[in-house]
Structure 1
Amino acid sequence: MTAERPWLEQYPAGVPAQIDVDEFASVVAVLESAIDNFRDRPAFSSLGKTLTYGEIDELSARFAAYLLGELGLKKGDRVAIMMPNCLQYPIATFGVLRAGMTVVNTNPMYTPRELKHQLVDSGTSVILVLDNFAHTVQQVLADTPVKKVITTGLGDMLGFPKGAVVNFVLKHIKKMVPPYSIPGAVRFRDTLEAGSRHALPKVEVTSDDIAFLQYTGGTTGVAKGAMLTHRNLVANMQQAAAWVGTNVRPGHEVIITALPLYHIFALTANGLVFMKFGGLNHMITNPRDMPGFVKELKGVKFTAITGVNTLFNGLLNTPGFDEVDFSSLHLTLGGGMAVQRSVAERWKKATGCTLVEAYGLTETSPAACINPMDLAEYNGSIGLPIPSTDACIKDEDGNLLPVGEVGELCIKGPQVMKGYWQRPGETAEAIDADGWLHTGDMARMDEQGFFYIVDRKKDMILVSGFNVYPNEIEDVIAMMPEVLEVAAVGVPDEKSGEAVKVVIVKKDQSLTAEQVLQHARANLTGYKRPHFVEFRSELPKTNVGKILRRELRDEATPG
């Protein structure tokens, strides 16, 4: 088998080739195991308040009992959760799953149009929303199948008087809660109270039940719901846990959870993997407030952190980050977008911990490849396929390509989604007859089985017939110390079809376009060099911090 899977030879000591997908029947079984093993240990903390595994057990059971006993929902019903990282998130999520229902993770920053599409498409019955975003729900409610709205304030689980103070400040001083009116809405705390009056019936949750409808593809058209089953998520948790577990101390890990838990990366990597280890998820509610984020890091002795390139870059450029205590940090995992060499090298220098790049997709729950945790330094690769995972490179016609050739990365394993919700045609396009998921990412594999992403198929720039990959251009420009952030896109060009344009946020205001072009001339071959340089104060990004090249491309293309 190793002839087809050269990566197995590179596996770190103690990492198995296969994982036991059947150790846990569901995400609920993982939670119950963590409660049994770590009941009195801290599980989630936010804004100075911590809940133990035992408290998560009790509160999530109450929420489940409310959904079943008070609202009369049935197994398989969809419940949307629309909030940033706060204590209500794990309580509600585990409550929905314990009731045998499906969580529809909903980005709180959605516009009314995006929210309506997701609620209608998923057939959501109930939505739990933070007060700050309830005005968006109010605008679309009448046009959706939602029967019940549950609202909550950011301070609601923080206890008295702190919770009341937080809610008052957000609403009346910071003016961050636009007024809304939703008749019949119920408060989250009241649902927990009502749930305590109902016994939680034993709901049989099976591995094939859909745990999450995780919407994806919003940047390339209409968002689709990836059906992630309990088996998908348990498999990915087992895979990632086997990969990182050799240097993890159960019951003693503290992971910084700055990416939102409604995003698949943090949901699995932080929420599930570290729950299995009895770790504490230290949740950051607003990671965009970088000075506030750094201040919070100074007060936590953390052992692990996950993030995207823009998050690590932002921290490194925030005053005071060099005063954070990194003495316990042994795991830094980067994913969601390409990690840039310049950022990885600065991270290692600042923290003493290697920034290990991983690769995944919503459709793979999400992890597919991870670099060895004992990596001495950044290597530019997305790593090796994780246990029980196969990967290959295919050409346009679905033929396997040899080592070193660039083609589409395809993934097969127990973490690959069941399909897209109510979209059999698009499911068939994504997952071929042999069970390979076509990722849409252009990549190559080296002799040792390490995979390298070259770029998104759709982001590739075609200059006079040559393929130009924005990642490479961005890496080169990001080497300049005067550059804070950069995005490369293709723009229409009469002579070459497309030309390369870079959009830059300056770190040093004296930087000129000529300096950028000079640097590009020294580091890139002719057809890869930018023809246009634009400076901006910020780049368009997704809620997780991925740079939206599509928006920059659309602006550059008239019509």
Structure 2
Amino acid sequence: MTGKVVYNAKVDYDLPDLDLLSVLFESTHVPSDDSTVLHVEASHPDNFITKAQTASYTKRVAHILRHQYQIGASGPGKDVVVCISSGQVLLPTIFYGTIAAGGIYSAASSSLTTSEVKRQIEDGKATLLITSPDCLKTAKEAAQQACLPLERIVTLDSVNGKRSLLSHTGKDLMSGPSKELSWEKITNPSVLAKRTICLVYSSGTTGAPKGVIITQANMVAYAIAIGYSHRDFVRRQRAQDPTFSFQYRTLAHVPAAHIAGMQGYFIHPAVHGGTVFWMPKFDFTQFINYNRSLEITTFFSVPPIYLLISQSPQVTDHFRTLYHALSGAAPMGPELTKAVEKKLGCTVSQVWGMSETTGSVTIQPWDEKDDTGCISEIQPNTKLRILDDEENDVEDGHPGELVVQGQTVSPGYWENSKATEEAFTKCGEWFKTGDIGLRRNNKFYIVDRKKELIKYKGLQVAPAELEALLLTHPLIVDAAVIGIPVPGEDGNEVPRAYIVADPTKVSGGDVQAFVKRELASYKQLRGGVVYLNAIPKSPTGKILRRELRELVKKESRGARL
């Protein structure tokens, strides 16, 4: 196809030249006011902080970080602070406070191992590590291995009404006279575009995680797009029904170190004028019970959790107040979507995005519905193209790599110029998402990850398609598909399924026959079916295919012995 084909959002918004903290706490760009309750402990709802209190704690944390640990003392955007913590009420103030002090917030999931935290400390050359009591052991071990002095570890404890920020000696840095440090108000667009405030580490599903740079401009562009889109939705509803109202109440249950958790729990409450209820970690029974008792109205979750919801006999009226739900981080097929919507009693929209785009690239307006499995509409202020391997635009209905342009697109990876260069098109203007997708009937669909497509006799097989089909089988609890090499046939692979199921109830042959009835010949499970107790996944539900490939390598080594 000749010529450039650019797909635009239906609407764009004017973006303010203003820093994130000023937007959230001191501007009219958000509907929340000083009395809005932003953060609440789910198990103790009387433990909460308002927007005014959040701003005050932010300044107190900033003062402690600057004057006790010299964060930002040599200038902004230099000192990296790694935070590994379970969910708690004051966790957002560590994010805000690090930014206010002039530091860079490096988000680490509480599920990381010691070696993974060590690597993140070393990769960012972090000078401070903030943790929660339950993660302290891992934090100390990681700091020691990374040669970060133990006096550079601080423990946050805001559970059950506590308000402590403890030094390595146990001194509470929050006690005593309250001292505050205000953030720098930035209005220079060039500074906003270049000022790094956060590092979000990619999931590392295919390799070592990389630190994705998030700037002031990235965060503000996303906050405005999400906030204004929601306000437009409310206006449309009130035009039809003047009594319409919506109270934003969400439940923090996915990792706050993931870009979706960071946006959903640090940014959205102020942007939507509502409340996030914090769980320390995900527990399914608690999750469904909190949805009912706290009258949750919306949340973002991931396919493995939606799968639990669809299959659990525990779920009855737990989601009776839920108005809208979002799914992302991994594909969710139409059949699972329908099953979940039936259980929830509301629409579940798929969003598509990544850390490198500061969150979602696409999102479905809440007053629209799709049952085709598309990834929704392009987010405001974002542009999209679909390219072939030579970076030429493809025709409608033909698959290609989705590339993105917009102010939410990260400038690249932390101190990794090679990875940054490879992440953009040759002209350097479009971010290559690595996702293969197509446009059909004016809707966008994800086929699979570019690196995960299985090459069988010159044809491409999408693992996501096979996985979606396998999950419709009533006896298969979970599934993952990879390509395994064919001995003696360089570059040729055959699909293999890894499933969670009872082999006494459904055999590998049964599974292969099921796929044979539904899909073309070249998509068959010629690599066989392997049973696992659980599919290896990241905290956000992405299948860790590298671990499955390691199983294949071990098989090969064993066969040679």
Same fold at TM > 0.5: yes
Distance in 2, matches of 1:240 and 1:202, equals 24
Name the counterpart of 1:411.
404
Distance in 2, matches of 1:353 and 1:438, equals 33
Name the counterpart of 1:80.
82
Distance in 2, matches of 1:91 and 1:153, equals 10
**After the TM superposition, which residues 322-361 of structure 1 pair with which residues of structure 2 at under 5 Å, given as runs?**
322-326=316-320, 328-361=321-354
Q: Is the 8 A contact 2:7 2:384 kept in 1?
A: no
Q: What secondary structure, in the 3-state scheme, does the structure 2 residue paired with 1:399 have?
A: coil
Give the Å deviation of 1:434: 4.2
Matched, 1:554 2:550: yes
Q: What secondary structure, in the 3-state scheme, does the structure 2 residue paired with 1:105 have?
A: strand
Distance in 2, matches of 1:107 and 1:186, equals 25
Give the Å deviation of 1:86: 1.3
Give TM-score, length-normalised by structure 2: 0.87
The verdict on how the C-alpha distance between 1:372 and 1:129 changes in structure 2, with shifts beyond 3 A counting, is same
Work out which of the residue numbers 215, 227, 230 in structure 2 matches 1:229: 215
Distance in 1, matches of 2:472 and 2:326, equals 21
Name the counterpart of 1:266.
261
Name the counterpart of 1:397.
390
Give the Å deviation of 1:307: 0.7
Matched, 1:218 2:204: yes
Give the Å deviation of 1:250: 8.4
Q: What secondary structure, in the 3-state scheme, does the structure 2 residue paired with 1:398 have?
A: coil
Q: What secondary structure, in the 3-state scheme, does the structure 1 residue paired with 2:59 have?
A: helix
Give unmatched runs, 5+ long, in structure 2.
235-243
Name the counterpart of 1:304.
298
Q: Is the 8 A contact 2:381 2:407 kept in 1?
A: yes
Name the counterpart of 2:241.
none
Q: Is the 8 A contact 1:150 1:186 kept in 2?
A: no
Deviations 1:226-273 (A, max 9, x none): 110011011112222233333458882101221111110121134313
The verdict on how the C-alpha distance between 1:508 and 1:243 changes in structure 2, with shifts beyond 3 A counting, is farther
The verdict on how the C-alpha distance between 1:290 and 1:197 changes in structure 2, with shifts beyond 3 A counting, is closer
Name the counterpart of 1:537.
533
Work out which of the residue numbers 190, 211, 228 in structure 1 matches 2:172: 190
Q: What secondary structure, in the 3-state scheme, does the structure 2 residue paired with 1:368 have?
A: strand
The verdict on how the C-alpha distance between 1:325 and 1:141 changes in structure 2, with shifts beyond 3 A counting, is closer
Distance in 1, matches of 2:289 and 2:247, equals 22
Name the counterpart of 1:149.
152
Distance in 2, matches of 1:142 and 1:392, equals 46
Identical amino acids, percent of aligned pairs? 23
Give the Å deviation of 1:210: 1.0
**After the TM superposition, which residues 343-492 of structure 1 pair with which residues of structure 2 at under 5 Å, given as runs?**
343-432=336-425, 433-448=427-442, 450-492=443-485
The verdict on how the C-alpha distance between 1:478 and 1:152 changes in structure 2, with shifts beyond 3 A counting, is same
Distance in 1, matches of 2:428 and 2:469, equals 38
Amino acid at match of 2:327: G
Distance in 2, matches of 1:523 and 1:307, equals 29
Name the counterpart of 1:176.
none
Give the Å deviation of 1:131: 2.3
Residue range with higher mean Cα deviation, 530-539 or 492-501:
492-501
Residue range with higher mean Cα deviation, 411-420 or 71-80:
71-80
Q: Is the 8 A contact 2:454 2:460 kept in 1?
A: yes
Deviations 1:448-505 (A, max 9, x none): 2x22111111111111221000011011111112222111111122387221111111
Name the counterpart of 1:200.
181
Give unmatched runs, 5+ long, in structure 1.
12-16, 165-181
Aligned residues: 524
Residue range with higher mean Cα deviation, 235-244 or 83-92:
235-244
Distance in 2, matches of 1:37 and 1:385, equals 26
Give the Å deviation of 1:83: 0.8
Amino acid at match of 1:117: R
The verdict on how the C-alpha distance between 1:377 and 1:398 changes in structure 2, with shifts beyond 3 A counting, is closer
Distance in 2, matches of 1:508 and 1:285, equals 35
Amino acid at match of 2:208: V
Distance in 1, matches of 2:371 and 2:430, equals 29
Name the counterpart of 1:239.
225
Work out which of the residue numbers 96, 99, 102 in structure 1 matches 2:101: 99
Q: Is the 8 A contact 1:123 1:145 kept in 2?
A: no
Q: Is the 8 A contact 2:479 2:498 kept in 1?
A: yes
Give the Å deviation of 1:105: 0.4
Give the Å deviation of 1:537: 1.9
Amino acid at match of 2:54: I
Q: What secondary structure, in the 3-state scheme, does the structure 2 residue paired with 1:190 have?
A: coil
The verdict on how the C-alpha distance between 1:89 and 1:250 changes in structure 2, with shifts beyond 3 A counting, is farther
The verdict on how the C-alpha distance between 1:29 and 1:7 changes in structure 2, with shifts beyond 3 A counting, is closer
Give the Å deviation of 1:290: 1.3
Distance in 2, matches of 1:79 and 1:62, equals 16
Distance in 1, matches of 2:246 and 2:147, equals 42
Deviations 1:400-453 (A, max 9, x none): 1121111111000000002111112221111232410011111112242x2211
Name the counterpart of 1:136.
138
Cα RMSD for the two superposed structures: 2.6
Distance in 1, matches of 2:161 and 2:138, equals 27
Give TM-score, length-normalised by structure 1: 0.87
Deviations 1:490-544 (A, max 9, x none): 1122387221111111289622323222211110111101131122221111122
Work out which of the residue numbers 116, 119, 122 in structure 2 matches 1:120: 122
Amino acid at match of 1:192: M
Distance in 2, matches of 1:446 and 1:36, equals 37
The verdict on how the C-alpha distance between 1:495 and 1:236 changes in structure 2, with shifts beyond 3 A counting, is same
Q: Is the 8 A contact 1:130 1:153 kept in 2?
A: yes
Name the counterpart of 1:26.
20
